[in-house]
Amino acid sequence: MDHLGRIVLPKELRDLLNIQPHDGVEIFVDSQSIVLQKYNPCCVLCGDMKDLFYFHDKIICKGCVEETAKYASYTTATND
């Protein structure tokens, strides 16, 4: 660790985790350990990692978009 608190990840470790320049990483504490993992975006509603879209700076999957649209059209139809 340098005087600014930065830690360099060795190339072998970056290659093993497929971390490329400008990839996001997450750092969190788990009990007595500091955990670093490659950031994998997921749907804020269900946690799915496939078919993702940004909507108002939030990540939502295609399935939740479709389910929300069905719910919105159902509630609109029943409120008329």
Q: Do 33 and 54 fall within a single domain?
A: no
pLDDT at position 59: 94
pLDDT at position 51: 95
pLDDT at position 74: 79
Provide the token pair at 1.
Answer: 């660790």
CATH number at residue 15: 2.10.260.10
Distance CA 26, CA 38 (A): 6
Q: Is the pLDDT of residue 80 over 70?
A: no
Helices (H), ranges, the chain: 11-16, 62-79
Pair 61, 52: CB distance under 8 Å: yes
Q: How many structural domains comprise the chain?
A: 2
Pair 15, 3: CB distance under 8 Å: no
* Owning domain of residue 72: 41-80
pLDDT at position 64: 94
Q: Do 35 and 48 fall within a single domain?
A: no
Distance CA 67, CA 44 (A): 14
For 25-41, what is the mean pLDDT?
91
pLDDT, tens digit, 9 for 90 and up, residues 45-77: 999 999 999 989 999 999 999 999 998 887 766
Strand 58-61 with 33-38, pairing: unpaired
